[in-house]
Amino acid sequence: MSIKMRREREKDEMRKLILEAANEIIKEEGMSKLSVRKIAKKIDYSAPIVYHYFKNKEDIINTIMRKGYKNILKELVSSQDTCKDPKENLEKGIRKYINISLETSEEYKSILLNSSKEVLEHTAVLFKGASLQRTAVGMLCKCVKDIFESENRDTDDTIIELRAQVIWVSMFGLIIRLIVEKDIDENQKQILVDSLIDYVIRGI
């Protein structure tokens, strides 16, 4: 192995160590308590070493957020089912997205409520053309388009994308409230999810 390759590997390993320490602090104490000093202490290095690999605390947070959201989407894509009924596909997709989001609730909340420019480059979904750049919106668009086609309706891309964005916002609102109001019993939670799905499908 060349010196350059060894240095690159050591750099990647140190960055990974820093991110893992930051993640542990976030899970144990919350995002607001994260600091470069705490990360350095956790990995037994000085703060300047951390600054050598990341510009600042925000750089560390943004890296964690981007990776976290990519992992959520990756799991969603890998668990996709397909059946002949497009409305059933949409229902399954909504349920899976909600379940995956609730299983990673703190990570989801931290990522999707983050308004930094760097994170929004990966999570913003309400702009025109989002279906081409955002996996979740693109998947919803496909479901909506399939439903339109099955009912011989006009498949105008702008209308389809707007419907998908509104569906995403509806899911997001319910997910965030379920995370915040975490003591809701399982039966009520399922009723709310069922009601959202019924509302979405009727609205399409």
Q: Which of 147, 89, 87, 115 is nearest to 31 (CA)?
A: 115
In this structure, the answer to whether residues 19 and 72 fall within a common structural domain is no
Whether residues 107 and 86 share a domain: the answer is yes
Its domain, for residue 2, covers 1-54
24 and 90 share one domain:
no
- 3-class SS of residue 44: coil
Average pLDDT value over all residues in the chain: 88
Find the CATH number of the domain harbouring 149: 1.10.357
The mean pLDDT value for 132-137 works out to 88
Residue 93: which pLDDT band, with cuts at 50, 70 and 90? confident
Residue at 69: amino acid letter: Y
Chain mean position to CA 165: 15
Tell me how many domains the chain contains. Answer: 2
Mean pLDDT, residues 126-142: 91
Retrieve residue 138's tokens: 């693109």
Q: What is the mean pLDDT of residues 161-185?
A: 95
Q: Do 177 and 97 sit in the same domain of this protein? A: yes
Q: In a 10 Å sphere around its CB, with 0-12 CB exposed, 13-18 middle and 19+ buried, how is residue 101 labelled? A: buried
**Could you tell me if residue 187 is inside a domain?**
yes
Question: Residue 60: inside a domain, yes or no?
Answer: no
Same domain for 196 and 143, yes or no, is: yes
pLDDT > 90? residue 125: yes
The type of residue at 141 is C
User: What's the predicted TM-score (pTM) here?
Assistant: 0.75
Regarding whether 23 and 124 lie in a shared domain, the answer is no
Q: Which two tokens stand for residue 55?
A: 């510009």
Q: What is the predicted pLDDT for the residue at 155? A: 87
Residue 6's pLDDT is 80
Asked if 140 contacts 147 with a C-beta cutoff of 8 angstroms, the reply is no
CB 200 within 8 A of CB 94: yes
The answer to whether residues 49 and 133 belong to one domain is no
- pLDDT beyond 70 at 81: no
Whether residue 79 is found in the same domain as residue 49? no
Same domain, 43 and 76: no
Distance CA 163, CA 144 (A): 8
Which of 54, 77, 92 corresponds to the end of one domain?
Answer: 54
Q: What is the mean pLDDT of residues 64-83?
A: 72
> pLDDT per residue over 21-57, tens digit each?
998 888 788 777 889 999 999 999 999 999 999 999 9
Enumerate residues 6+ apart whose C-beta is below 8 A from 11. 53
What's the count of helices (H) and strands (E) in the chain, helices before strands?
A: 11, 0
Give the least confident one: 10-19, 36-45, 71-80: 71-80
Residue 59 in domain: no
- Exposure string over 25-49, b if 16+ CB within 10 A, otherwise e: bbeeeebeebbbebbbeebebeeee
Q: Are residues 140 and 187 in the same domain?
A: yes
Cα separation of 31 and 33, whole Å? 5
Residues above pLDDT 90, as percent of the chain: 52
pLDDT at 172: 96
Contact status, residue 40 vs residue 8, Cβ threshold 8 Å? no
Kindly report the number of other CB atoms within 10 A of residue 102's CB atom: 16
Same structural domain, 132 and 106: yes
Instruction: Give residue 194's pLDDT.
Output: 96
